[in-house]
Structures are given as C-alpha cells and as structure tokens.
Chain A
Amino acid sequence: GAVVSQHPSRVICKSGTSVKIECRSLDFQATTMFWYRQFPKKSLMLMATSNEGSKATYEQGVEKDKFLINHASLTLSTLTVTSAHPEDSSFYICSARTGGAGTEAFFGQGTRLTVV
C-alpha cells in the first residue's frame, strides 16, 4: 500500500516554543491530507483538512492560529504547534488519501508531543 511518513515520531519541547511536524506521502500525490489528535485510550479527533495550495479547513473548536497547517506541495503537509503548552501534549497523526472520498486513507506513524 501507499506509504505516509510522519516526522518526528517523538518530540519534547518547552512551554512557549513551537514545534513542527511533517507528513509526507512517499509514493503518491496527496491532494488532501488530514490531521488528527488522539488522547490516551481515546479515538482520533479530526483537527483540520489540508488541501494542497490552499488554506486548511479547521474543525470547530480547533484554533487555527495555534495549529498552523501548511500544504505546500502534493507530497508534504506540516502542522506547527505554536506557543506550546502542556495541554497540547498529545499524539498527532496525519493521513493522506490517494484519491477522492471513496478511497482509503493511509496514515503516518504518529508524533508523540510532550510539552514540559
């Protein structure tokens, strides 16, 4: 199947700093990528939908100024957590589709963010 690479897998940062997470589709072009957040033993909560060359669409309750999403190319989307706080500590996962709504999504390995 298609491969989505997410980096870094783990990151620890200090409160007030910013952290960038990268999501790359390695062997296909992804016009749409999705960013999810997952709390321990919970399901995935969709944060935003990232479309190549345009602004991301954020879900209700997600601060777009805090979670900056950039989808600069058909193979790369980034999520930047700005001015991180301990409550931002979580597992962040990206996914990318090979096609439209009727196709399966492929997921990155996830990033464990810890803000101290």
Chain B
Amino acid sequence: QQPVQSPQAVILREGEDAVINCSSSKALYSVHWYRQKHGEAPVFLMILLKGGEQKGHEKISASFNEKKQQSSLYLTASQLSYSGTYFCGTESASNSGYALNFGKGTSLLVTP
C-alpha cells in the first residue's frame, strides 16, 4: 500500500525551513527519501532504518517514528537548488523483496 505524503506542495522563500511527512499503514523496515527534478532521475537523499540508524550523504536531516510508521524530512535554510519533488519510498514485510513503495511526492519550490 502506497505511503501518504504531506503536504502535496509547498512554496518557500530562500532561507526558510520546510518539513515533509511520510506515513504508512504498514510496519516499516526502512524509509528512503529521494529528490527528483523535472526530467531527471530521482536522487538518493537518505535512508532511515528501524532502530534509528540513518544513512545519507547530504546536509539534510530526517526522523523515523517506528511506533507511528511515520518519517519526516527536514529542510532547513532552503536554497534554490532544493526545488524539486520529494518522494519517500518505504520498505516493509509486504513489499516485493527489496523493492520500494513510493508515495505520490511533495513538490517543493524555493523562490529568491
């Protein structure tokens, strides 16, 4: 079952903060976050694992509430380059192997 992302869209001025949420009705093993710019491939941002471990390579923070099966992505001091669509992909016992179940995305626009 597809995770639910909120908000659907957000517009920020450069320097403002944003939070993007992802929730699932399934017990999750991990949550993966990606950013996709128009016409480009989704780019990996971060993995949050059951048990609290995080793996990422960008200056972005996130949380994973295992009890609520929710994850939040925190974008602070936003830059113009943060614009794009953010997707969460979830891994659970009901997924096919290691496949990810993606939400519909959150569109983020950062303006000067």
Q: State yes or no: do A and B come from one complex.
A: no
**Residues of A in contact with B (beta carbons under 8 Å apart):** none
**Residues of B in contact with A (beta carbons under 8 Å apart):** none
